[in-house]
Amino acid sequence: MSELLEGSAAEIARDVNARRLSASDVTEATLAHVRANDAEVGAYLLVLDDLARETARRVDQRIARGERLPLAGVPLAVKDNMCLAGARTTCASRILEGWTAPYTATAVARMLEAGCVPIGKTNLDEFAMGSSCENSALGVTRNPYDLERVPGGSSGGSAAAVAAREAAIGMGSDTGGSIREPGAFCNLIGFKPTYGRVSRYGLIAFASSLDQIGPLTRTVEDAALAYDAMAGHDPMDATSLAREVEPAATALREDLRGLRIGIVREFKLEPLGAAMKAVYEQAYRELEALGATLVDVSLPTADYGLATYYLIAPAECSSNLARFDGVRYGLQVDAGDVATMNSQTRAAGFGPEVKRRVLIGTYALSSGYYDAYYVRAQKARTLVARDFAQAFGACDLIACPATSCPPFTLGAKSDPYSMYLMDYYTIPMSLAGIPALSVPCGWVDEGVPLPIGLQLTAPHFAEPLLLGAAHAYERATQHARKHVPRTSAHA
């Protein structure tokens, strides 16, 4: 069965649709592998054995009736900030530890309709606030390539599950890099679509103008299939775009001839250190070898991305998390009056990073500071988007690092500032709302080989171009296949 789990989502779906495999067989093999390995990895907060088996049985029935499903029988890991009816949904927070979702997020429902089988709900940084998955109040998740290192965050549980072959597709959410960074850390494709391309209905909000659902996969083809399944307008989400989705899975290409790829002048490689610098320089040469023309582009406001993001995102967080007050759902700490009950519930239910961001956001929105901080940050955000638009006048795609370091050891970045710097290369794309992904581009040796990701980004709605180019790079370089995780179907 280990060979079965090594298959890509596309391969599993082809075999299930052809009835060479059953969805039930794939599901049983995956559940057995999770039971054998997840105690070490810690990818899942909840394993949905009964729901997985029932869903697989229904998939097999649909196939027997002659249906062809694009993701038939594919094991799916769902980040635990997305609702799944009847399943505990916690955001890895004490304040929602006992809450059961009464409905299913649109993106999750679309993946199930496409034939996916939900294996479980995965760990994350609490309320998706973090870059390492260490901020979870409910468990520790480890990187399958080195169990002493982080898987990245905030979608670390979904990334670890896919890397460890405990799922074929992981659903993540990306606010400032929370799909792309764990993708890079776990040797995966981490893909954030254009803002509004995938419905946020049923995603528990962190920062509403930034949050976007996307897939974590082992191949670009799988990411394209997942995107095609989950993208599209949803009347239940006011930010969902009523624009036709161009299929991405049919736009995959074998080379980069005719493409101009921008290299950002402001993103210097020297601060990354010699090892990472060499990996990225090699990646740029590989792009050229595939036929791309590299051009110099400028993002003058890129250095303002972190400051801009850490005003806008906490401000929206402070507003969104006001609903967790101990009255309507989740944790309630009894007290003599409502105000004390609200205060004590939030003190007991929220972790340190969530409290920090709520306080930052509340301050930025407070009387006398709103114009000085929040409004100025929104103006800076407009400038970031303008810079990308100008850069794309000279190129088709932009290439740059996905992370500022390889996967680091658990506990190595204990201060908030060093953790916030992890998002330096990914935040500008989130502020601009454009699609971006991380694709494996090489390895650095820190006693064990550690994966590195190349970030590619495209203009709004250019997902087929972006995924097509990433597929050509992935197929030609095969970086993802050069090492296997220590905890996987090989184990």
Helix or strand holding residue 216 (H, E) = strand 212-217
The mean pLDDT of the chain is 96
* Residue 489 confidence (pLDDT): 55
What percentage of the chain carries pLDDT values higher than 70? 99
Residue 454 placed within a domain: yes
Q: How far is CA 116 from CA 3, 170, 229, 310, 341, in A?
A: 19, 11, 10, 35, 41
Give the Cα separation of 318 and 330 in Å (integer). 17
pLDDT in tens, 339-353: 999 999 999 999 999
Indicate if the pLDDT at residue 329 is higher than 90: no
Residue 443 placed within a domain: yes
The stretch 204-216 carries a mean pLDDT of: 98
Q: How far is CA 411 from CA 94, 129, 132, 135, 408, in A?
A: 21, 16, 9, 11, 8
Residue 489 placed within a domain: no
Residue 67 placed within a domain: yes
pLDDT in tens, 362-378: 999 998 899 999 999 99
Which residues are catalytically annotated?
A: 79, 154, 178
Q: What is 395-460 written as a DSSP string?
A: -SEEEEES-SSS--BTTS--SHHHHHGGGTTTHHHHHHT--EEEEEEEEEESSSEEEEEEEEE-ST
Give the Cα separation of 276 and 401 in Å (integer). 9
Give the Cα separation of 30 and 385 in Å (integer). 42
Entry field: residues in the chain: 491
Residue 328 placed within a domain: no
Give the global pTM: 0.97
Supply the CATH number for residue 469's domain: 3.90.1300.10
Residue 311 placed within a domain: no
Domain count, the chain: 1
* Residue 220 confidence (pLDDT): 98
pLDDT in tens, 270-301: 999 999 999 999 999 999 999 999 999 999 99
pLDDT in tens, 43-74: 999 999 999 999 999 999 999 999 999 999 99
* Residue 454 confidence (pLDDT): 98
Residue 263 placed within a domain: no
β-strands 397-401, 293-297 pairing: unpaired
449-457, strands of its sheet edge to edge: 44-47, 117-122, 75-79, 169-174, 212-217, 189-192, 436-445, 449-457, 397-401, 260-264, 293-297
Q: How far is CA 92 from CA 52, 127, 388, in A?
A: 21, 7, 34
> Which residue range forms the structural domain that includes residue 201?
2-256+413-481
Q: What is the dihedral of CA 78, 81, 82, 83, to 10 degrees?
A: 120
Residue 218 placed within a domain: yes
